[in-house]
Amino acid sequence: MNRQEALINSKLSSFYPVKSLEGKAVEDVNMNKRTVTGVLNTSYFIDQDLDMIIPGAVKKSLNDNGPLSQAHAKIKYQIDHSLKADDTIGRFDILEEREQDGIFDLYFEGYLPPIVSDKHLIKYQSGLYNQHSIGFQYVELTLAEKDSDIQDYRLNWEKFYPLALNPEKADEFGYFYVVKEYKLFEGSVVTFGSNELTAYLGSKSANNETYISDLFNRLDFLQSLKGADKKEFQLEILQIKQIIKETYNRKPSQKDTLIKPSNEVDTTYEFLKSLKESLNN
């Protein structure tokens, strides 16, 4: 496997990545109608993961599970990517790609029913809620590389680089990913932007015990889903797997490396390794 294939496969092996919108996320809030309109993602923008989503990438997902689909398990409208029912902020009445002045946005119109606390509408109106993020899964992507030794990747650069809204990002690294299709699980209003799921769980910089405690809590939540919608159960499993993947990829700080005895057993790693094996069985 060459370097480029390894980069692509690393993306495709993600279970439940998240991606925060970099730009204007909220367009309008109507307190009387209890509606919010805004944007979840923008095509042709190269984000901090070096991903460029192209128009049409979410089309199949919207057809299969969007607001106008016949699916029982539709794309969710959540808070901070938590899948718990208490963290469902409302429903998407409209979710579609829209083009305006050459910009392709994943536009939404959401309804927050009376059973949802008014505090969420107030936070939207006051500007405290001003960021959105998507929980998704890569389906098809490729690489665009300026000086690649592989012709297809060079041609991708020539084709997609001129379309980039921020080509300086591509110039900085010499390559970016072209996301041709992704499966959208949910759109979340987020209190801060991050492209790591663990950050929303409050344990990105936490110690081993916090990680383990959080995973145990999520496993307990799985127990409560017995007899519930199968799709919800599957999404929770994907999130747990993503947490495991991101935990494996954590880079220890220099301080941690210096103070950790060389013969100390990494209990988090061993615990997550066994957990991952059990989830895959």
pLDDT digits (tens, 9 = 90+) for 193-246: 788 887 776 554 455 666 677 777 777 777 776 665 677 788 888 988 888 888
Give CA separation, 275 vs 187, 196, 225, 245, in Å: 27, 20, 19, 12
Residue 264 has pLDDT above 60, yes or no: no
Asked if residue 144 lies in contact with residue 160, where contact means CB atoms within 8 angstroms, the answer is yes
Q: How many domains does the chain have?
A: 2
Same domain, 184 and 216: no
CB 168 within 8 A of CB 32: no
Q: Answer whether residue 135 shows pLDDT above 60.
A: yes
Instruction: Give, rounded to a whole angstrom, the gap between the first and last alpha carbons of the chain.
Output: 27
Joined tokens for residue 185: 């699980």
C-alpha 150: how far from chain center = 29
Q: Is 0.85 surpassed by the pTM of this model?
A: no
Q: 189, 207, 228 — which closes off a domain? A: 189
Q: What is the dihedral of CA 69, 133, 101, 51, to 10 degrees?
A: -100
Same domain? For 162 and 275 the reply is no
pLDDT at 211: 67
Q: Same domain, yes or no, for 165 and 208?
A: no
> Are residues 174 and 228 both part of a single domain?
no
Specify whether 103 is located in the same domain as 65.
Answer: yes
Say yes or no to pLDDT of 166 above 50. yes
Last residue of a domain, one of 137, 167, 189: 189
Q: Which domain holds residue 273?
A: 197-280
Is the domain of 241 the same as that of 269? yes
Pair 166, 219 in one domain: no
Nearest to 108 by CA among 41, 50, 181: 41
Q: What is the pLDDT of residues 36-72, one digit of tens each?
A: 999 999 999 999 999 999 999 999 999 999 999 999 8
Decide: 157 and 148 in contact? Cβ < 8 Å. yes
Residues 56 and 183 in one domain: yes
Q: Are residues 252 and 214 in the same domain?
A: yes
